[in-house]
Amino acid sequence: MAARPIKFYQVGSFAVGNRLLGPELRSVQADPNRSNAITKGHRACQGCGEALGARYALDAAMRATDGRLIAANATGCLEVFSTPYPESSWQMPWLHSLFGNAPAVATGIAAALKAKGRTDVRVVGQGGDGGTVDIGLACLSGMFERNDDVLYVCYDNEAYMNTGVQRSGSTPPAARTMTTQAVGDEPGNVFGQGKSLPLIAMAHEIPYVATATVADLRDVEAKVERAMQLRGARYLHILVTCPLGWSCQASDSVKVARLAKETGLFPVFEAEHGAVSAVSKIRRRRGVEEYLRLQGRYRHLFEPQRREDVLARIQAIADRNIARFRLCDPDGFSRQDFPANAGLAREGAPREGA
Amino acid sequence: MEKPFAITLDVGSSLANKTGAWRDERPVYVDRLPPCNAACPAGEDIQGWLYHAEEGDYERAWRRLVQDNPLPAVMGRVCYHPCTSACNRAQIDEAVGIDGVERFLGDEAIRRGWELADAAASSSGAGARARRSGKRALVVGAGPSGLSAAYHLTRLGHEVEIHDAGELPGGMMRFGIPQYRLPRDVLDAEVQRIRDFGVKIVSSTDVTDVRDAMREGGFDAAFLAVGAHIGRRAYIPAGDSARILDAVSLLRCTEGGEPPRLGRRVAVYGGGNTAMDAARTARRLGATDAVVVYRRTRERMPAHEEELREALEEGVRMKWLSTIRHAREGELVLEKMELDAHGMPQPTGDLEELKADAVVLALGQEADLSLLQGVPGLSVKDGVVEVGANMMTGAPGIFAGGDMVPAERTVTVGVGHGKKAARHIDAWLRGGEYTPTAKHPTADIGVLNTWYYADAPKTVAPRLDEVRRCSTFQEVKQGLDEQNALFEARRCLSCGNCFECDNCYGVCPDNAVIKLAVGERYAIDYDYCKGCGLCAEECPCGAIAMAPEPG
């Protein structure tokens, strides 16, 4: 795990802050002078995981770069709710162009800074899963293969929420969206479709790929900090709850994200140069049902009748993740025998940062 | 306005958009009563003093503690800690070892010579010792209840004198609780500190008539806490040479340095804590076989589990479901009992013999209430004095507490009575009425978000090695060291009361939580709070509640 656990301080390393810790050990979010890269007054829904995840990630990046940071944003909720004319919630240099070209815009900014010799100013590209996994994938893959000096952050809420909850390449199986209705023998999104962008990013063998959830602030911050220590293309994939699209309680936003990790449905790990280097272990393992029950997008699995078959298939996905990423293995692991690495590392030396 | 290159529009901020209008429920910070505090018979703010101990500020922790209880070193040793039984942490891993931390603080205070006078001055500002009332209060009995009342009355600005029948103060803490549970230097130190605070203790003074004593000393009110010192006897048909004595005398004589001759085989009759004390004392006085004879079962015995366990560890044997039918020299005849449908023991007629050189009766104690003779308005029922909710007896100005009133008979309950009575006596002396502040609702485990607490099992205090403890009166349980005490304090979940973990400040997607200065917690920015409830849901200790929007 990237975040260093703190022992025996009442809330250990799980809470945002801790009065018993020295300021240097507290999270960025505990700092009363945090930059609040995205500030109040934005129009995100109640309990929005993306608004929260963006502030977690960008505040950490702002601290890591001493505030010298430029963001390029894809179209999506994050852009729409933060910048309805004439208001902006951004308290940092921020740029929006199109839905599919945020990685290319970020590349351009990085190239311009390089040309000007401004190596101190760093660049972040960001977008939702639609702009990243589907529409912007070509530009993103290009950014990866050129190893441009950009940290790209995907806030994954598993569908196109901004336009009314349509399925994306990141929508999980059986989930109900406007375009995958809960009807027929196999209600909701189809099994066997979609993709894992973190694994696709790893296949580019870029210096750093990591996943995180909005439920684990310390982990998000540690990963952003690590990413900002490196140069070259870096990718951070943060699972963010969408109370509207997932049809869960706004107050359960963090809880649902936490369960995504604790069930094994969303593996949290880090990879360097194409090989997994660390995983966040499951602390209190839960069956998938506890996660699914909180979300209306899975209600058809429980009523009018219980779909044991579908539940078993979802549990199998979680079990496979747990085995594949060794999420419950109490011991550490060695890179060599890590199953997820098999077939991933190609011949030749890993690419260094630019 | 001159705009920078390529900028054509004015930049506006989303701060103009007051999203608080979306809200139909609002988060509010609340304080709930932690279960430890709710369970404490002495009314300690346990979580309050643990909070300071967590920071390693032991003096402040101790000062917070002695606002309620002037005997922490004693309490940390002899209290049966209902606080830890109530502790929410027991449902996560193990209860917080509150008694261990309390004892550590008490010992630390003795070691460092912290004074109660300072406690008053620092706890509530310069005028902490309330304005002098010019009134005088008499306290009868220097046991836990009397000492507590005297201390609190002094704090409240009255002049207090304790009249005690014993040669040395302490009451049952000295003459009932054996030294292996409460070393006398600890007791002496805490009593001395109360004296230094201004409480006058007159020893070896038997108050035979309370009204006379009040008149002679010019006292305006009295608090009676004479305890229950008379061992209850039971008729046992016995031969001439059978040795039968009661547990109270055994413990008192042992304390006086003249223990009675018990012989090698000792039977103790009874199932309470005093029976355990008597059996363990007998072992230390050289009995090779100490047997407790009790008419019911282990589940139904009144002695605390911890005392029973320690007695068994020291080789004390138990005879469950047995009564003594007959005693003769060197031998007892026991009758086997069985429990009926109501759990009451019924004789079976089966007899059995038990070798015993002496029988110690530990069948409960009674209070000597002769000092109350002739006091009008007073009511005595079942051998104890009846008191109202304000601890006042039927006689105006005469209050009572501790073992002589109807309640559980423990040191902690006594201390609690003393504090409670002191508040009512203060009000009575000043011509008013004391109304306790309303208690917050209890913070049960359901209001906590336990995810946030790190796993940390309890630190167990080492016990004196068994062989050594059967032969000496040295203290059985050793204290926690500083590191362990700190660890233990930090295991506190702070149930129901904000401990400034910054979670609400961190998890608000709308930056609508304002972090105030250290110690002042947080505020909600209702201009922007959308009422999503994340802060309340993710608060580890249940210190945020969602309330309907007013209006």
pLDDT, tens only, B371-390: 998 899 889 999 999 999 99
Mean pLDDT of B144-159: 96
- B431-460 core/surface letters (b: 16 or more CB in 10 A; e: else): eeeeeeeeeeebbbbebbbebbbbebebbe
Indicate the pLDDT class of residue B1, thresholds 50, 70 and 90: low
Q: Give the residue-averaged pLDDT of A217-226.
A: 96
- Average pLDDT (B447-472) is 83
B455, B491, B534: residue with CB nearest A47:
B534
Q: Dump pLDDT digits (tens) for B30-67.
A: 999 999 999 999 999 999 999 999 999 999 999 999 99
Q: What is the pLDDT of residue B524?
A: 98
Question: Are A2 and B473 in contact, with CB atoms under 8 Å apart?
Answer: no
Cβ distance of A10 and B453 shorter than 8 Å: yes
**pLDDT number for residue A59:** 98
Contact A43 B11 (CB under 8 A): no
Q: From the list A30, A36, A284, which residue is nearest B502 (CB)?
A: A30
Q: How much is the pLDDT for B228?
A: 93
Cross-strand bridge partners of residue A234: A151, A208
Q: What confidence score (pLDDT) does residue A4 get?
A: 55
DSSP string, B180-192: TTS-HHHHHHHHH
A residues 185-244 lying closer than 8 A (beta carbon) to B:
217, 243
Rounded CA separation B268/B270 (Å): 6
> Judged by CB atoms within 8 Å, which residues 182-211 of B form the interface with A?
none
Range 41-60 of A in CB contact (< 8 A) with B = 41-44, 46-49, 51-52, 55
Contacts with A276 (C-beta within 8 Å, 6 or more apart), sequence order: A202, A269, A270, A325, A335, A338, A340, A341
CA atoms within 13 A on the CB side of B352: 14
Check CB contact of B499 with chain A, cutoff 8 Å. yes
Which pLDDT belongs to residue B81? 94
Q: Whole-number mean pLDDT of chain B?
A: 92
Residue A286 has pLDDT above 90, yes or no: yes
- What local confidence, expressed as pLDDT, does residue A165 receive? 97
Q: What is the pLDDT of residues A143-159, one digit of tens each?
A: 999 999 999 999 999 99
- Using 50, 70 and 90 to split pLDDT, how confident is the model at A348? very low
- CA distance to partner chain A, nearest, from residue B83 (Å): 18
DSSP line for B430-491:
TTS---PPPPPPB--GGG--GGGSPP-PPPPPPB--HHHHHH--S-SBPPP-HHHHHHHHTT
> Across residues B168-190, what is the average pLDDT?
96
Which of A167, A168, A105 is closest to A133 using CA atoms? A168
CA distance B28 to chain A (A): 15
Q: Write the CB contacts of B277 (distance below 8 Å, at least 6 apart in sequence).
A: B176, B177, B178, B181, B247, B251, B307, B362
Counting residues of chain A whose pLDDT is more than 70, the rounded percentage is: 90
CA dist., res. A161 & res. A168, Å (int): 10
In contact, B75 and B69? CB cutoff 8 Å: yes
pLDDT of amino acid A155 = 98
Token pair 């699972």: residue: A239
CA dist B187 and B181 (Å) reads: 11
Average pLDDT, chain A: 91
Among B503, B524, B549, most A C-beta atoms within 10 A, so best to mutate, is: B503
Q: Do A252 and B532 touch (CB under 8 A)?
A: no
Q: A304: cis peptide before it, omega within 30°?
A: yes
pTM higher than the cut 0.95? no
pLDDT confidence tier of residue A315, bands split at 50, 70 and 90 = very high
Residues 41-60 of B with CB under 8 A from A: 54-55
Nearest-Cα distance to chain A for B502, in Å, is 5
Q: Does B484 have pLDDT greater than 90?
A: no
Q: Which of A5-14, A58-67, A107-116 has the lowest mean pLDDT?
A: A5-14
Q: Inter-chain contact B12–A51, Cβ cutoff 8 Å? A: no
Q: What percent of chain B has pLDDT over 90?
A: 79
Residue A134 has pLDDT above 80, yes or no: yes
Nearest partner of B178 among B277, B97, B291, judged by Cα: B277
Residues 6+ apart with CB under 8 A from A220: A53, A56, A57, A60, A212, A213, A214, A238
The answer to whether B452 contacts A48, with C-beta atoms less than 8 Å apart, is: no
> Which of A13, A251, A253 faces B536 most closely, judged by CB atoms?
A251
Residue B193 to residue B201: CA distance in whole angstroms:
12
- Measured CA distances, B44 to A204, A219, B63, B86, B108 (Å): 62, 39, 12, 14, 18
Cβ of B14 under 8 Å from any chain A Cβ? yes
Give the list of residues 6+ apart from residue A306 with CB closer than 8 angstroms, or none: none
DSSP A135: I
CB contact B533 to A (< 8 Å) = yes
The confidence score (pLDDT) of residue B126 equals: 40
Whether the pLDDT of residue A222 is over 80: the answer is: yes
Residue type, A292: L
Across residues B289-312, what is the average pLDDT? Answer: 94
Phi/psi-derived region of residue A53, left when phi > 0, alpha when psi is between -120 and 50, beta in every other case:
alpha
Alpha-carbon distance B316 to B193, whole Å?
37
Q: How confident is the model at residue B129 (pLDDT cuts 50, 70, 90)?
A: low
The distance of Cα B280 from the centroid of its chain, to the nearest Å, equals 23
Contacts of B500 in chain A (CB under 8 A): 17, 19
Q: How many CB atoms lie within 10 A of CB B541?
A: 28
| DSSP helix/strand/coil, B500 | coil
Can you give the pLDDT at residue A3? Answer: 58
d(CA B62, CA B40): 16
Does B326 or A253 have the greater pLDDT score?
A253
d(CA B401, CA B386): 10
Q: How far apart are CA B31 and CA B86, in angstroms?
A: 18
Average pLDDT of the residues in B316-340:
93
* pLDDT band with cut points at 50, 70 and 90 for residue A350: very low
**pLDDT above 70 (res A353):** no
- B3 close contact with A: CB closer than 8 A: no
Chain A touched by B16 (CB under 8 Å): yes
Q: Of A123-127, B36-40, B226-230, where does mean pLDDT reach its minimum?
A: B226-230
Q: How, if at all, do strands B317-319 and B289-293 pair?
A: parallel
Note the pLDDT of residue B117.
Answer: 63
Q: Which of A21, A25, A40, A244 to mutate to test the interface with B (most CBs of B within 10 A)?
A: A40
3-state secondary structure (DSSP) of residue B305: helix
List B residues 504-523 in contact with A (Cβ-Cβ < 8 A). Answer: 505-512, 515, 518
**Which residues contact residue A74 at a Cβ distance below 8 angstroms, ignoring those fewer than 6 apart?**
A96, A98, A99, A100, A101, A102, A125, A126, A127, A128, A131, A132, A135, A136
Query: Choosing among A6, A10, A221, which should be mutated to test the B contact, i.e. which has the most B CBs within 10 A?
Result: A10
When mean pLDDT is compared across B183-192, B287-296, B475-484, B519-528, the lowest value belongs to B475-484
Is the CB of residue A254 less than 8 Å away from at least one CB of chain B? yes
Q: Taking CB atoms and an 8 Å cutoff, what residues of chain A touch B15?
A: 39-41
